[in-house]
Each structure stands twice: as C-alpha cells, then as structure tokens.
Chains A and B, each alone.
Chain A
C-alpha cells in the first residue's frame, strides 16, 4: 500500500467550510496561488495557500502526522487575521472522519500561528496558521 497524502482532503474541508466559503469564494489553493489570486496594491483579494511542511510516520503503526502552513492573505492586516481565524475554525479540533475514498483522518488541530506579515512581492498582508493532522497511511477498503 502506498502512503496516502491527506493534503487534498484538508484543502477541500477548508474550502467547503461555510465560514470560509463566504470569505474566499473557493480561493483555497494547494502549494501556490492560482493565476489571478495575487493582485497588486488596491486590488487585493482574500485567498489561502496551503503548504505541506513536514510529515512524521510512526515506525510500527500505519499512522502519519502531517504539518501544514496555511498562508491566509487578506486585504488588510485585520482582514488577514480574520481569515486566519476562519481557517482555524474550519480545521481546529475536528475529530475522526473517513472520506468516501477511504482516507481516515483522526483529527486536525490549529497548532498556532504568527502575527501579520507582508508578502515581499505584492506587499499583501497575510497570516500563517500552522495545522497538524493525524491520519492513516493507507486507505480503508
């Protein structure tokens, strides 16, 4: 069995969360922003980029702990903070769930975050939310 990657599932959960959908209209991306997400000053819009930072696999059990960073871009520092809060609400303390494809996630948690930052290219404010997620390394039949 190959090691399954829960990133896609986490991204869908954040994107489809009711609070998030109202804020970002589906602009939750994996790895890097889509074309048209990152605009210049005066045209900023909210979007989230989910990045996988590290994965730890238990040696004797089919369990992995994956750590993510969600970069939450807002129109202002306050907006970025509100978006980071919405991302946190979408994932924090969510219990066991099994997807139709058989991916089993035990839980996901907001593992902290930093203050407001500025993107060096567009100067758009953003905040980072660190997320830890525990999941099986194999899909269930």
Chain B
C-alpha cells in the first residue's frame, strides 16, 4: 500500500487554525430564544383558553378553577427554568442543557379528557389547534424575543455589576465586623 502523500500547505494551515467558541454569545442567543418562546407560549395559551369549553357553575360547585383558566407556560434554557409559573417540569418533559424548550399545558385533570375525548364524550381539541396555528407564525415571536434580549444587554450588565458590588460590600462589612 503506498504511503499517503504529504497534505498540502493549506490543509496543514487549516489544521493549525484554532477555532474559539464564544460560549457566552451562544448562551445569550439561547436565552433570547427562550424569551421569544415564552411570549409564543403565552399566545398559544391565550388562543387555547378562548377555545376551551367553560362551565363556571360546575367549577364553582367542585371548588376548583375552570379548566380553561389553568393554562401555564414554562420555558427551560441552558438546563434551568427561565420563564413560567409551573414549579416543576411537566411529567415526561425532557430538556437538554444546550436547548431552549417550551412547555405549554393546562394544569387540570380534565384537560386531556376534553382534548382527546372519552368513550362517552367526543374529543374537543383546544390546545393542539392553537399550537398548530401558532407554530406556523413562531418566527416573529422568536425574532422579537432575541431583539429584546439583545436590547436589554446593557441593563443586565449594569445590574450584574451592581449585584457584584453589593456582594463585595456585604462581605467587606462582614469581615470588618468579624
């Protein structure tokens, strides 16, 4: 078998080029996307709530909130919950640390029965149609979220510096007292 020929100078040069990944910039993009996803999720819930069946009398008799009013949004980014009101990640929801993931749902034991139907009740889908129509128009939400995140960068930096200064002052005061 003939020995491989020497790689060209260009190939050798390319092998020596060091690629630096600006991790913070990539994280900022992910967080901006998360902000856009949060607004998208709110739009989905708003549309789904409007389409969901409402029975205030039954809800009042049972002493529970109406199913249509239990919609929640949760966004995970960089492995942490960044936006949303749900305390826990939805059951079965998987989140990878380098992704932004949006969960939308209705926190009611009846929601899946209304959406998918039962043997005695026809399905009345309200979440999936809202999701399908919103996904088609998701682009502007993501774009706006990223723009907002980028625009708020100076404020976040200033706030970070302020927090660091307060921590340093508190530590100094503690050391002084000790």
Within 8 A of B (CB), among A95-110: none
Contact with B along A50-64 (1 / 0, CB 8 A): 011111100000000
Pick the residue among B113, B115, B123, B135 that contacts A120 (CB under 8 A): B113
CA distance in complex: A120, B118 (Å): 7
Q: How large is the interface on A (under 10, 10 to 19, 20 to 34, 35 or more residues)?
A: 20 to 34
Residues of chain B lying within 8 A (CB to CB) of residue A13: none
Within 8 A of A (CB), among B91-127: 92, 112-113, 115-120, 122-123, 125
Is there a chain B Cβ closer than 8 Å to A128's Cβ?
A: yes
Q: How large is the interface on B (under 10, 10 to 19, 20 to 34, 35 or more residues)?
A: 10 to 19
Q: Given known contacts A49-B117, A120-B113, A121-B118, is B123 in contact with A55 (CB within 8 Å)?
A: no
Query: Among the listed stretches A14-22, A31-39, A86-94, A133-141, which one makes contact with chain B, having 4 or more residues with CB under 8 Å of it?
Result: A31-39
Is there a chain A Cβ closer than 8 Å to B129's Cβ?
A: yes
27 A–B contacts, CB within 8 A, in A order: A31-B117, A31-B122, A31-B123, A32-B117, A32-B122, A33-B119, A38-B119, A51-B123, A53-B115, A53-B116, A53-B125, A53-B129, A54-B125, A54-B129, A54-B132, A55-B132, A69-B123, A71-B116, A71-B117, A73-B119, A114-B92, A115-B92, A120-B113, A120-B118, A121-B120, A122-B119, A124-B119
B interface residues (Cβ-Cβ under 8 A, vs A):
92, 112-113, 115-120, 122-123, 125, 128-129, 131-133, 135-136
